[in-house]
Amino acid sequence: MNRPMVDARYSGVAVTLHWLIALLVLFNLLVGIGHDAIPALRALMPAHKAAGITVLVLTAARLGWRPRRCPPRFRRGSAARRGRSTACSMCCSSRCRYPAG
Ligand code: HEM
């Protein structure tokens, strides 16, 4: 079986999708929560709906991209970060070839 090697960093596509989705979710939370109290936000409800559907599409794209690239395994940083990284690679990246050590 040809197992992909692990990248040192998340790919540009993964990072871009991550931040696009994060910004759109944040935008939607702010507009969704604030639209009753702040009239100016009410005008943004069509954008809220479009952003929500875009989040769905981008999330599907991210899930489609995920099996093609192996996420980096962080060996430094806090114990919590290393733990998350190891748990993630164990459950989702068994086909990835991590360097020994
Ligand atoms: C990332 C996706 C989304 C997030 C995080 C989000 C978040 C929220 C939040 C926090 C509220 C306020 C709820 C409340 O006051 O009880 C809201 C309201 C609303 N959302 Fe979304 N939403 C998302 C996607 C969508 C989509 C895809 C649609 C429709 C196509 C939509 C339509 C609406 C509408 C119509 C309301 C107003 C409900 C009311 O009358 O109070 N949202 N949203």
- Given ligand 1 and candidates 29, 48, 54, 59, which is best to mutate, with the most ligand atoms within 8 Å of its CB? 48
What was the pLDDT predicted at 91?
A: 66
Torsion angle of alpha carbons 23, 27, 32, 36, nearest 10°? 160
Is pTM beyond 0.85 here?
A: no
Residue ranges per domain, the chain? 12-92
How close is the Cα of 43 to the center of ligand 1, in Å?
13
Model pLDDT for residues 56-92, shown as the tens digit of each residue? 999 999 988 887 777 777 667 788 877 877 777 666 6
**Each residue's pLDDT tens digit, 6-50:** 667 888 899 999 999 999 999 999 999 999 999 999 999 999 999
12: number of Cβ within 10 Å: 8
Report pLDDT for 95: 66
